[in-house]
Structure 1
């Protein structure tokens, strides 16, 4: 199996190489594919498979499936991984999954249907299969699903010399590990030591004397979002995972925790945009339609709420037509201000920077921001309306309406996600609809209501 590592020539995936790969696929030239793809890193090959269309992807896999290994499978996006696995010959798939750590196998299995899960499980050696099945028994999106079962442990009474001798003689060690975990006779973790400290200490040094202050454990049932937070908050490299009795069952490494953080960020962004939390450019037409149509339907309903508010002021709009030209300004400014405040609030909730302890301070800040921004743009629009339409009172109306709208937008952007989070709803999934609707309705009502009072 080819080792897909970037070589000193700094081979990268660019458009020229993608075009050359597609030409080789069309010509059914597997030799040219070897030349083009062998120098690439597994992540680049995964990117290539995601970027090309479905027919080209299947044709490429038909010609080059013998070179697909476990590293490439683990890098492929969830959106197309199942399709890729279905295209691989059974013997290639079997060989690929045997190269993976247990956490990577679990990550692949989570996105597959039971028949395909069975194929992969059958390909594993009995010990590896038991480890993967035990991990799959933990709740979805938990630390137990995220951890790898392969750990490096040592009794707490060992010295550095004993640990080094053990590591040199061990037949099976994880491909990557950062700590030697110290355990008591009941297999409960009591500390860990970095490989750097082991190599830089004398052989007679007790391992307990050089343990890291950052040591902590995570229960296997802990939500993976909490795991990512712990890694990010305490700058961990790896962390032992324990069962309900406190016994060691696995370890989570920083790469897996950072993957969770990336996925959380991506999901929040997609939810805020209303396109579904698993949308991808690799999705087909109907999958994309199914992900977006419900949110567009909700947007249609909320837009009609705004239209209903406007319809209540037909008389004033009929008499002062210029109001119709200025209404989009109110909606656009309110929407943009709400999105700014909302995005910051949702992100802060996800990273736990926004909590009940500092909520009042954040709300007070957003109120001040709304007032200042409102005053600034009120002056600009009031002057512009006066100059463009020769109507100073229209300028006053749009100015006051902008102050009200920007204050409401700033406050709603932080208060709505806080409330939804308190009620147990996902603020990224629900906030956008509520905030934009609230801002539009209040903005139109303020603008047209002030116009009715001040101009008629």
Structure 2
């Protein structure tokens, strides 16, 4: 069996044995040469070559490969692999990318892929679909699977019910250890991973749980009731996922039963699901700290990001205008350049906050290894474009305001040019500084802030005052 590092050490289409091309480099980033090989196989519709390259890939590696491909190649990869494609890989990609891919796939393909997934992964796929498509996929599933998935989808978003896995093992309390072990040996459709056996009454109410290690150490004639923990770890299906994550973190849990409002067992939360929750919550917190929407992803388009960041910057502009207006109360005691002194805090403040937005996304992406050499220039170009667009918009807004405020068209033009320059350089500084620090082995999360702030302040004051001096000297 070939692992992910040896996939490209295969015959090329012309029959020549190629030099090994590892999937990841020494630092764990995706190798661009490997991605190019996969892209060539997809473009040539070479199914055999493609399967040889990606067979036995872990779902996480396959998800990273999908993200590295060009958008038009992603659905074709799935179509060419057919039944060999593991749909769990789609749970490992950015939500925006997943939605784009799902839009290109027919419902029959989706239904076939969802049928082979664990329920929690299937729910992740289904909740990314439009309601009409979701209903069509569910209609093509077996009744028991459809009912279980629909029940999970009926729970609120970000609840334990949405995150839970419905595949579990539940037995009555009067069964013996021997019966339970024989049942697990003889049943083919068991959960792929489980750590405990749940004990329920005829109505499905949770009575207790038995850890696998305790089960295997007990004698066969002993009843489950005698060895079960009658106060098992449990969470409610409607409980928020962040609260559940805190329970897992506090008590070092690896799994917990999920019950409904009547105490009936409806699923199980696993530690791997909690890791995802903790990552999502940390991701959201750090993005919000920088004024970025929690759902922003590296795969989002320039215009989506520009629109999502614009409101926060607009609020910041309004607060900066208030500060500028306070300075304006001293206008009569200042000389000719009073307008520049009043407007300077706006330029500095907006540059600093725009740089912080870009820096927040870059630092988080570096921490999760979503940002590396393979996609750095693409992200740099995207951030520069976002900065330029926001700069142009705020140049118009503040240029008009400054022009009317001080009755000077020239002053409005000066601050407009300064804002375009500052927001562009703030975006570039916000991504170049973390990348440089990371390259030098310094933690960008700790050190990026002061550097980015300094860059935006220096550029902001220099651009504003330099442009003003040059313009009014004409």
- TM-score normalised to structure 2 length: 0.61
Structure 2 CA distance for partners of 1:275 and 1:42, relative to 1, 3 Å = same
1:249 alignment partner, SS class: strand
Structure 1 counterpart of 2:52, from 5, 29, 35: 35
Q: In the alignment, what sits opposite 1:427?
A: none
Please say which of residues 162-171 and 235-244 is displaced more in the overlay. Answer: 162-171
Q: How far apart, CA to CA, are the structure 2 residues paired with 1:315 and 1:187?
A: 80
User: How do residues 48-63 of structure 1 correspond to structure 2 at under 5 angstroms?
Assistant: 48-61=65-78, 63=80
User: How do residues 214-233 of structure 1 correspond to structure 2 at under 5 angstroms?
Assistant: 215-233=232-250
Question: Is the CA contact 1:18–1:48 (under 8 Å) kept in the aligned structure 2?
Answer: yes
Question: Is the CA contact 1:156–1:184 (under 8 Å) kept in the aligned structure 2?
Answer: yes
Question: Is the CA contact 2:75–2:105 (under 8 Å) kept in the aligned structure 1?
Answer: no
User: How do residues 19-418 of structure 1 correspond to structure 2 at under 5 angstroms?
Assistant: 19-61=36-78, 63-64=80-81, 67-211=84-228, 215-313=232-330
Q: In the alignment, what sits opposite 1:395?
A: none
User: How do residues 414-429 of structure 1 correspond to structure 2 at under 5 angstroms?
Assistant: none
In the TM superposition, residue 28 of structure 1 has moved relative to its aligned partner by 4.2
Question: In the TM superposition, what whole-angstrom CA distance separates every residue of 1:281-340 from its partner, at most 9, and x where no partner exists?
Answer: 11122222222221221222222223223334557876999xx7xx98xx89xx89xx9x
1:149 alignment partner, SS class: coil
Please say which of residues 267-276 and 231-240 is displaced more in the overlay. Answer: 267-276
Q: How far apart, CA to CA, are the structure 2 residues paired with 1:193 and 1:11?
A: 41
Q: In the alignment, what sits opposite 1:444?
A: none
2:171 alignment partner, SS class: strand
Question: Is the CA contact 1:65–1:89 (under 8 Å) kept in the aligned structure 2?
Answer: no
Question: In the TM superposition, what whole-angstrom CA distance separates every residue of 1:115-153 from its partner, at most 9, and x where no partner exists?
Answer: 220232123111100111122222222222222222211
Q: How far apart, CA to CA, are the structure 1 residues paired with 2:269 and 2:34?
A: 36
Question: Is the CA contact 1:7–1:39 (under 8 Å) kept in the aligned structure 2?
Answer: no
Structure 2 CA distance for partners of 1:5 and 1:242, relative to 1, 3 Å = farther
Q: Give unmatched runs, 5+ long, in structure 2.
A: 8-21, 25-29, 361-452, 454-474
RMSD: 3.5
Question: Is the CA contact 1:151–1:251 (under 8 Å) kept in the aligned structure 2?
Answer: yes
2:281 alignment partner, SS class: helix
Q: How far apart, CA to CA, are the structure 2 residues paired with 1:39 and 1:168?
A: 26
Q: How far apart, CA to CA, are the structure 1 residues paired with 2:78 and 2:258?
A: 37
Q: How far apart, CA to CA, are the structure 2 residues paired with 1:58 and 1:132?
A: 24
Q: What is the count of residue pairs matched by the alignment?
A: 331
Question: In the TM superposition, what whole-angstrom CA distance separates every residue of 1:44-97 from its partner, at most 9, and x where no partner exists?
Answer: 121122233323435545544554332223323221112212223444322211
Please say which of residues 17-26 and 118-127 is displaced more in the overlay. Answer: 17-26
Q: How far apart, CA to CA, are the structure 2 residues paired with 1:203 and 1:64?
A: 46
1:304 alignment partner, SS class: helix
Structure 2 CA distance for partners of 1:130 and 1:311, relative to 1, 3 Å = same
Question: In the TM superposition, what whole-angstrom CA distance separates every residue of 1:162-203 from its partner, at most 9, and x where no partner exists?
Answer: 211221222421122111012244432232122222223322
Q: How far apart, CA to CA, are the structure 2 residues paired with 1:32 and 1:290?
A: 41
Question: In the TM superposition, what whole-angstrom CA distance separates every residue of 1:339-394 from its partner, at most 9, and x where no partner exists?
Answer: 9xxx9xxxxxxxxxxxxxxxxxxxxxxxxxxxxxxxxxxxxxxxxxxxxxxxxxxx
Question: Is the CA contact 2:23–2:31 (under 8 Å) kept in the aligned structure 1?
Answer: no
In the TM superposition, residue 226 of structure 1 has moved relative to its aligned partner by 1.2
Q: In the alignment, what sits opposite 1:392?
A: none
In the TM superposition, residue 11 of structure 1 has moved relative to its aligned partner by 5.3
Structure 2 CA distance for partners of 1:239 and 1:7, relative to 1, 3 Å = farther
Structure 2 CA distance for partners of 1:249 and 1:90, relative to 1, 3 Å = closer
Question: Is the CA contact 2:111–2:138 (under 8 Å) kept in the aligned structure 1?
Answer: no
In the TM superposition, residue 154 of structure 1 has moved relative to its aligned partner by 1.7
